[in-house]
Amino acid sequence: MALIHTSNEYQIPRGRLYWDPRDAATDALTGEEEFGNCPSFTIAIETEKLEHFSSQTGLREKDDSRVVQVDRSATVTCDNVSFDNLAKYLSGQVETVSQTSDAVTAATLAVIPGRFYQLGRSDTNPAGDRNISSLVITDSTATTTYVAGTDYAVDLVKGRLQIIDAGSIVAGDIKVSYSKAAKSWKRIKTGAASELRGAIRVVSDNAGATNRDYYMPLCILKPAGELPVIAEEAEYVTMEFELEVLTPPNGAAIYLDDAPVAE
């Protein structure tokens, strides 16, 4: 009878990544969110050993070695630049900004020729006013009305005003009047916790190999690396996260399950 050798399993790893955030007050899991496309998810394990050397002979020899510490971590690379993922990366929270329909009448704006201004910007309204119409710009005494395209240019959708350098507007105060429509949009505001606690699940869909799913019930998610905002090269934006994998009080740090057998 011929020898029977082990059958090798070769794997091209693919799968879907899910993050289950823990409630800050109760530490309870709140439900899994799909990260979206993640080109890379890697696990790293480091061990620390305590070594003992005998002092009974002239030659100092190692006679015992024991693993005393295990550190588990993981790295996530994600190119799904969703608002929720950006909020995780920026350590921020997602909120909805609501702009009410209103008319702005003769608001004073200090300007310098050649520069750009966000209409309606203030400390409490950092995005300024958007979707404006009926824009009228005058001098500070409202005796001169300036001409669009000659004295200023404007993006009505974004509420961006440019004072044309060669126009009639000089450095100083002008009066701005316009109407703004009721609109709402999403915003990420930083200031949330710089690390998030939760669980990670990887549901595998490998190419040509057995699927095995990873689950890590207690992790700390932290942003890492750089987030491209403007780039010369044409390439997809990726975000990188680091995971500190912890052992929960009543469980293991990592679970790796075979795919269930269909009946």
- Quote the percentage of the chain above a pLDDT of 70: 98
- The stretch 111-115 carries a mean pLDDT of 97
Q: Mean pLDDT score of the chain, rounded to an integer?
A: 94
Q: Which residue has the higher pLDDT, 119 or 1?
A: 119
Task: Answer yes or no: are the C-beta atoms of 210 and 260 closer than 8 Å.
Answer: no
Q: How far is CA 177 from CA 109, 118, 127, 161, in A?
A: 11, 14, 18, 12
- The stretch 4-23 carries a mean pLDDT of 91
Q: Which 3-state string (H, E, C) describes 60-105?
A: CEEEEEEEEEEEEEEEEEECCCCHHHHHHHCCEEEEEEEECCEEEE
pTM, two decimals, is 0.86
51 exposure class (CB count in 10 Å sphere: 0-12, 13-18, 19+): exposed
Mind listing the pLDDT tens digit for each residue in 180-215?
Answer: 999 999 999 998 777 799 999 999 998 877 889 999
* b/e 16-50 (16+ beta carbons within 10 angstroms → b): ebbbbbbeeeeeeeeebbebeebeebeeeeeeeee
- The stretch 29-42 carries a mean pLDDT of 96
Domain ranges within the chain, ordered by starting residue: 15-64+78-93+193-258, 101-181
Q: Residue 200 has what pLDDT? A: 97
Mind listing the pLDDT tens digit for each residue in 123-136?
Answer: 999 999 999 999 99
Q: For tokens 């080109």, name the residue.
A: 39
